[in-house]
Chains A and B, each alone.
Chain A
Amino acid sequence: MNLTRLQTIIQRELLEIRKNRLLLFTIFLPPLLLAFLPIGLFAAMGGQMGNTNMNADQIARYYSLSPAFKDFSPNELMQLIVFQQFLVLYLVMPLIIPMTVAAFSIIGEKDAHSLEPLLATPIRTGELLLGKAIAAVVPAVLATWLAYAIFIVGGRVVALSDRVFAGLLNPMWLVAMIALTPLLSLLSVSIGVMISSRVNDTRVAQQIGGMLVIPAVVLGLAQTAGFILLNAFTFIAGSLIVALIDAGLLYLATQVFQREKILTQWK
């Protein structure tokens, strides 16, 4: 792996993204909406959740999953749960946002006929794929972090109490944002790049990539229903598992990259 060539690929990809304002807009808009939307809703409701629609069983299940919340009023608990639903979305976003960029990475080069001249340089497959993956991850993670920062600042303003805000600022979410977000993004991108080098139609690549969101949505729904509660252990174990999967996927991506097929059979 040559770092100069890797850096060159990353810089070129980022430069292209930066010059494509519409693409940049579509990368940053969803996370920013998901930052302002809950804050705006809470502000409009005066910080009150009203009737929680939660029955005693559901509240008991949350209390049993995390005894730290046992002193919370139902309103506080509800607000924290809603906050956490949005925090879960910040874990889903890095899976979704870079998918389009990743799915386009190889097939886009082929469509533009720039793949042949690129592969005729001393670039190695691993450098090309990793460079493209990192370049797709960077804007997605930056957008997510920016949205998270706005969400935290806004959360301070609309939180019902200090302990709700403290729950929002839970260090496990910081770990999740700093470690798990980029790793999840890399997971999504690695799969996207792999799909991009295996199918010869951009639309198919994006459709297959879109299915990646399903497990993340299932995770979010499970947490909403109170079946699981994300905690420090889940995040640390999750980060380690995702890091291993990322490494495996990137290796696999270089192995399934069929240069000859791409160059001769894709039209």
Chain B
Amino acid sequence: MEPIIQVRDLTKVYQSKERSGLLSSRVKNVDALKGITLDIFPGEVFGLLGPNGAGKTTLIKCLTTLLLPTRGAAWINGYQLERDENAIRASIGCMLMGDRGLYWKLTGRENLDFFGALYQIPPAPRKKQADKIIEMLNLGDIVDRTVETYSSGQKMKLAFGKALINDAPVLILDEPTNTLDLPSARELRTVVHDLNEQGRTVVYTTHQMSEAEELCDRGASIDRGEVIALGTIPELKASLNREGVTKVEGVIPATAFRAVRALDGVASAALSSKDGAQELVIVAPNPRAILPQLIHALMDNGAVLEQISPTEVTLEDVFIAKTGRTLAEDTRVK
């Protein structure tokens, strides 16, 4: 099967000016994408996974023709990036900037109509498509109010609806559930799933691996501008099949974390904080064998342990195993 999206050696280098004196500045190069190569096939939900600053949004901006790649090439729906900009834009429906990509002084219906008109959809089919979206996303009660009166979740739903207005074969969704509460996020994922069942190809970026596990057929884990893992979700998880994951909760000083990382038999470890508690994730080929040294290393360095448990491998563990960092870490280059 021919891929609907082909990306070959896509590289993006940003240039930013850094002030070095009162009147002088120097140009700084930031490698946002470093030779990304991947294929996305028709009818699949493809996850672009990684922490903030990994390069997901830069890749999305290149694929949606907003940014020109520094090097490399990409084809979407048979059209080449840079050469067939307008054909690519007509082939994709995209949700960028979350709930902000809307005109707040206009009503939801006016927003849908405006974006539909930019795709030159005639008024009658445009209205029909808008009505279909309004019904699909249960926007009927709010769609004739100005967007400034919407809650964050309602704006997010409308922004998602806007991505559907041109009924494109490829949907590119950048963190679409970012500000949604859990039921709304679930509802939106159901809609994405239904749209995929109807044949649409979906590119879905997220830093929530549980979301990717639920929704995506395949995915690419991106870190610091590079693809560090690519495959189906079971394949990605299976890449850790000879390794086990142990999670430690409690109060873990930096010295204890460093001691754990230095232990023989620890493949990788990452520390994160959540809701005031710390969580240490350790990936090791034989977790049981290292358990005594692990506990010693923690206790000797002042850790207060609340829970130690072996866990099932998740996509986040795959990311930790590959990078030694958690997804909560912001890797943006300032």
Contact = CB atoms under 8 A, between A and B. Distances in A.
Interface stretch (A13-21, A51-59, A83-91, A142-150): A13-21
Given A117-B162, A120-B64, A16 B103 contact: yes
A126 to B, nearest CB: 13
B96 A122 contact: no
A12 B96 contact: no
A264 B119 contact: no
Q: Chain A's interface: helix, strand, loop or mixed, by majority? A: helix
Which one of A4, A113, A117, A259 has the highest number of Cβ atoms from chain B below 10 Å of its Cβ? A117
B119 A122 contact: yes
Interface residues of B, number: 33
B94 A112 contact: no
B80 interface: no
B100 A8 contact: no
A228 to B, nearest CB: 42
Contacts of A118: 118
Nearest to B114: A12
Contacts of A240: none
Contacts of A123: 118
B61 A265 contact: no
B142 interface: no
Given A8-B117, A12-B114, A264-B67, A122 B146 contact: no
A8 B146 contact: no
Which one of A114, A119, A121, A260 has the highest number of Cβ atoms from chain B below 10 Å of its Cβ? A121
Contact of A114 (B92, B95, B100): B100
Interface in A114-146: 114, 116-123
Contacts of A121: 89, 115, 118-119
Interface string B309-331: 00000000000000000000000
A201 to B, nearest CB: 16
A156 interface: no
B186 interface: no
B119 A114 contact: no
B86 A120 contact: no
Interface string A1-44: 01011001000100110011000000000000000000000000
A123 B120 CA distance: 10
Given A121-B115, A122-B86, A113 B97 contact: yes
Contacts of B14: 264
Nearest to B97: A113
B173 interface: no
A19 B61 CA distance: 32
A166 interface: no
Contacts of A259: 66
A237 interface: no
Q: Chain B's interface: helix, strand, loop or mixed, by majority? A: mixed
Contacts of A114: 97, 100-103
B146 to A, nearest CB: 7
A116 B114 CA distance: 15
B103 A263 contact: no
Contacts of B110: 12, 15
Interface in B72-125: 86, 89-90, 92, 94-97, 100-106, 110, 114-115, 117-120
Given A12-B103, A120-B94, A122-B90, A263 B117 contact: no
B105 A20 contact: yes
A164 B100 CA distance: 57
A116 B102 contact: no
Nearest to A263: B66
A94 to B, nearest CB: 24
Contacts of B64: 120
Nearest to A119: B66
A2 B106 CA distance: 23
B68 interface: yes
B65 interface: yes
A73 B104 CA distance: 58
Given A8-B118, A116-B66, A122 B106 contact: no
B16 interface: yes
B231 to A, nearest CB: 28
A234 B95 CA distance: 52
30 contacts: A2-B120, A5-B117, A5-B120, A8-B117, A12-B103, A12-B106, A15-B105, A19-B105, A19-B106, A20-B105, A112-B103, A114-B97, A114-B102, A116-B97, A117-B94, A117-B97, A117-B101, A117-B159, A119-B66, A120-B94, A121-B89, A121-B115, A121-B118, A121-B119, A122-B86, A122-B90, A122-B118, A260-B67, A260-B68, A264-B14
Name the 6 nearest CB pairs between A and B, nearest first: A113-B100, A117-B101, A8-B117, A121-B118, A113-B97, A120-B64
